Amino acid sequence: MWYDQDFLAQCESLKQNGRVSNFRSGARIARGFADVGYEEFVVLPNGKMMSLFSGAQSELNEEHRGFFFEVPTEAELLAELETRGELIESVKFANQRTWSVKTTKLSAESRGLHHTLLLCLLASYAANTGS
């Protein structure tokens, strides 16, 4: 599954707010290109990556890692929220279209659970930086 450009832009915002990307084998990463938007990749063993658009494999060079950001899974988002002290109080799916998540300190709402958890984590970073 490919993620939409807005979702990937928000994943990049996590990096800009201080989240460190994990380049372990199997991780999903992305980067932005001025002319085409974001492209997604999966990290392969031995310092390689594969484009989820073209299937092409290439090296994930150390000097290029700064251009990439991680696309976290739902489980990773939940774990990081918990690490940041944001305990989940409720998760609701309303009218077969909107997910809402409430934590001990914040809440978010979106069309998908994955996106809603991402919005919670972004809000947590914003609350800790004062932005």
For 1-71, the fitting CATH number among 2.60.40, 3.30.70, 2.30.30, 1.10.3470 is: 2.30.30
What pLDDT does 81 receive? 96
pTM: 0.89
Q: Where are the beta strands (DSSP E) in the chain?
A: 28-33, 37-44, 48-51, 57-59, 69-70, 88-94, 98-103, 107-110
pLDDT category, 128, cuts 50, 70, 90?
A: confident
Does residue 24 register a pLDDT over 90?
A: yes
pLDDT category, 130, cuts 50, 70, 90?
A: low
Model confidence pLDDT, tens digit, residues 26-59: 999 999 988 889 999 999 999 999 999 999 999 9
Model confidence pLDDT, tens digit, residues 76-122: 999 999 999 999 999 999 988 999 999 999 999 999 999 999 999 99
| Tokens encoding 60 | 């994930």
